[in-house]
């Protein structure tokens, strides 16, 4: 019996800021990323996303590619500041027109739209109240979610309110490496809480306008101890609280985990009662029809003393020995992916799962024949599809898989150097070239999984160049 159900949502993902460009088109307002990219040194090589993949203009070409490789779903995000240019109040109909056209065309092609509301590009105007640190951000997000679902709710079956709350909290507000570039530990945990609260409140507010399912995409990282010691086991569990359970528990249980709350309160110098107010946890819990999982790698953890740059008693040490890695050095661990899917289902039963991102940086570019023979991405994709098949066989209610990303794109603070795409983008011309990995993915989709006999050994993948 095949592991993947016939209606499995095979697809690819992007986000507005990373691909669209056209920051001034059709009444778009300024976003926090427009401001952040202007900060000297914020973006590697000083790049910005004024053009990116030019998908605001070339979206039909992107959809042609999705059709050509047989995708069943496309995850993309709405640019918040195209719809609410001032953050609150005025809705910009031209922003909604754009996404309505995109969604209608996807549906005409029988490709399911999976629509993310906040993939990090908050309107700059909301920074007047502290961005996500300000509690009023929750109401602003609800206004936006209502505007989007009022117009688009009848044609979207899958909504993702928030993408990667932990990354917003960590990189945006704790380390200042992403927009809005704030470094404030208590501000970070506050921001993360408001992101979750905004999910819960927005989900309630959207229901009258849509029968689509509403979820959140969490980037989950299995945390494993570096050694057999009890100290490292504690470090791994603590890190799991920081990265995973701090978000899973309030969304899919009844509130924040006590152990991590104690860590946060110790590190930020006091109780969080003024941040996590009575009723907040009840407003977050039980509002998710599905969980989106973004998976890239794991964290190998060791105990460590807290210090000025280490708020919690653990540190990431990485694996020793031979481990397969991406071009960025990220460990490739498909078994951890399978185990994570099984664990989430075991610990939070009854919630359908969609892999809303999974992918890797491999810098392949066109060779003499004009094609991109990205053998390692093909192998990566196959090994992760095999992991999902094992999870499905173990009973995990997995509904879909979105490869990150459809296109090489603007990788935030790292600029354009890291290439995540199934499709190569020449950033000077905007030309797209479908990589070998995308053609192999098309075959997996057509076959409904990896057919028997095809495994993930490098020697076999090496012969995949003939797919085209
Ligand atoms: O590009 C990002 C995406 O925006 C969010 N998840 C991780 C991806 C790769 O870093």
Q: What is the pLDDT of residues 436-449, one digit of tens each?
A: 999 999 999 999 99
Q: Determine the Cα–Cα distance for residues 288 and 201; give it in Å rounded to an integer.
A: 11
Q: Is the pLDDT of residue 68 over 60?
A: yes
Q: Rounded to 5 degrees, what are φ and ψ at 287?
A: -105, 10
Q: For the CA atoms of the chain, what is the radius of gyration? A: 21
Averaged pLDDT of the chain: 96
End-to-end CA distance of the chain, in Å? 28
Nearest atom of ligand 1 to the alpha carbon of 420: 9
Q: How far is the CA of 411 from the centre of ligand 1 (A)?
A: 7
Q: What is the pLDDT of residues 315-354, one digit of tens each?
A: 999 999 899 999 999 999 999 999 999 999 999 999 999 9
Domains of the chain are 9-464 (3.20.20.80)
In this structure, which residue's CA is closest to atom 10 in ligand 1? 411
To test ligand 1's pocket by mutation, which of 329, 403, 404 has the most ligand atoms within 8 angstroms of CB?
A: 404
Q: Is the pLDDT of residue 457 over 60?
A: no
Q: Is the pLDDT of residue 284 over 70?
A: yes
Residue 295 CB–ligand 1 contact under 6 Å: no
164 is catalytic: yes
Q: Is the pLDDT of residue 386 over 80?
A: yes
Of 15, 58, 104, residue with least CA distance to 406 = 15
pLDDT at residue number 453: 55
Q: Which long-range contacts (CB under 8 A, 24 or more apart) does 148-151 make?
A: 148/78, 148/83, 148/96, 148/99, 148/115, 148/117, 149/205, 149/206, 149/209, 149/210, 150/209, 151/96, 151/100
- Tell me if 364 sits within 8 A of 373, measured CB to CB: yes
Q: Is the pLDDT of residue 233 over 60?
A: yes
- Tell me if 201 sits within 8 A of 149, measured CB to CB: no
In this structure, which residue's CA is closest to atom 9 in ligand 1? 411
Catalytic residue among 20, 124, 281, 357: 357
In this structure, which residue's CA is closest to atom 4 in ligand 1? 15
Of 93, 38, 10, 45, residue with least CA distance to 411 = 45
Q: Taking the model in full, what pTM does it have?
A: 0.96
Q: Is the pLDDT of residue 462 over 70?
A: no
Residue 17: CB atoms within 10 A of its CB come to: 26
Q: What is the pLDDT of residues 102-160, one digit of tens each?
A: 999 999 999 999 999 999 999 999 999 999 999 999 999 999 999 999 999 999 999 99
CA triplet 72, 425, 218: central angle to 5 degrees?
Answer: 50
Please compute the mean of the pLDDT values over residues 66-84 and round it to a whole number: 99
Please compute the mean of the pLDDT values over residues 344-373 and round it to a whole number: 98
The fraction of the chain above a pLDDT of 90, given in percent, is 95
The fraction of the chain above a pLDDT of 70, given in percent, is 96
Q: What is the pLDDT of residues 188-209, one digit of tens each?
A: 999 999 999 999 999 999 999 9
78 alpha-carbon distance from chain centroid? 14
Sheet holding 299-303, edge to edge: 223-225, 299-303, 314-316
- Looking only at the bridges linking them, the beta strands covering 423-425 and 432-434 are antiparallel
Nearest atom of ligand 1 to the alpha carbon of 294: 6
Residue 176: CB atoms within 10 A of its CB come to: 17
């Amino acid at each position: 019996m095949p592991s993947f159900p016939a209606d499995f949502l095979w697809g690819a993902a992007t986000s507005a800021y990373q691909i669209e460009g056209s920051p001034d088109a059709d009444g778009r307002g300024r976003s926090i990323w427009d401001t952040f990219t202007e900060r000297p040194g914020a973006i590697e090589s000083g790049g910005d996303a004024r053009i990116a993949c030019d998908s605001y203009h070339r979206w039909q070409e992107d959809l042609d590619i999705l059709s050509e490789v047989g995708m069943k779903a496309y995850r993309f995000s709405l640019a918040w500041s195209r719809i609410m240019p001032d953050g609150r109040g005025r809705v910009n109909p031209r922003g909604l027109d754009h996404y309505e056209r995109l969604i209608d065309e996807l549906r005409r092609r029988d490709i399911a739209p999976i629509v993310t509301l906040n993939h990090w590009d908050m309107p700059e105007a909301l920074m007047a109240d502290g961005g996500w640190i300000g509690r009023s951000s929750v109401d602003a997000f609800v206004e936006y979610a209502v505007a989007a679902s009022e117009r688009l709710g009848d044609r979207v079956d899958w909504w993702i309110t928030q993408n990667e709350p932990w990354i917003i909290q960590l990189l945006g507000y704790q380390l200042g490496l992403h927009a809005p570039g704030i470094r404030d530990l208590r501000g970070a945990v506050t921001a993360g809480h408001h992101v979750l609260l905004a999910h819960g409140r927005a989900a309630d507010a959207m229901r009258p306008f849509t029968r689509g399912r509403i979820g959140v995409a969490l980037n989950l990282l299995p945390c494993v101890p570096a050694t057999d010691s009890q100290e490292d086991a504690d470090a791994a569990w603590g890190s799991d609280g920081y990265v995973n359970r701090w978000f899973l528990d309030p969304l899919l249980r009844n509130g924040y985990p006590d152990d991590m709350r104690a860590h946060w309160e110790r590190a930020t110098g006091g109780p969080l009662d003024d941040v996590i107010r009575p009723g907040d946890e009840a407003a977050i819990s039980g509002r998710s029809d599905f969980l989106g999982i973004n998976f890239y790698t794991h964290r190998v953890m060791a105990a460590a003393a807290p210090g000025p740059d280490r708020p919690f008693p653990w540190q990431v040490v990485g694996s020793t020995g031979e481990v397969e890695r991406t071009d960025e050095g990220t460990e490739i661990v498909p078994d951890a992916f399978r185990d994570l899917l099984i664990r989430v289902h075991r610990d939070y039963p009854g919630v359908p799962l969609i892999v809303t991102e999974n992918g890797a940086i491999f810098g392949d570019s066109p060779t003499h024949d004009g094609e991109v023979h990205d053998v390692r991405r093909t192998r990566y994709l196959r090994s992760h599809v095999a992991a999902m098949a094992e999870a499905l066989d173990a009973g995990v209610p997995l509904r879909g898989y979105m490869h990150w990303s459809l296109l090489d794109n603007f990788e935030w603070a790292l600029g354009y150097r890291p290439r995540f795409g199934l499709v190569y983008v020449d950033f000077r011309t905007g030309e797209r070239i479908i990589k070998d990995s995308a053609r192999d993915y098309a075959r997996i989709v057509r076959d409904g999984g990896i057919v028997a006999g095809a495994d993930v050994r490098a020697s076999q993948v090496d012969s995949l160049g003939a797919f085209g």
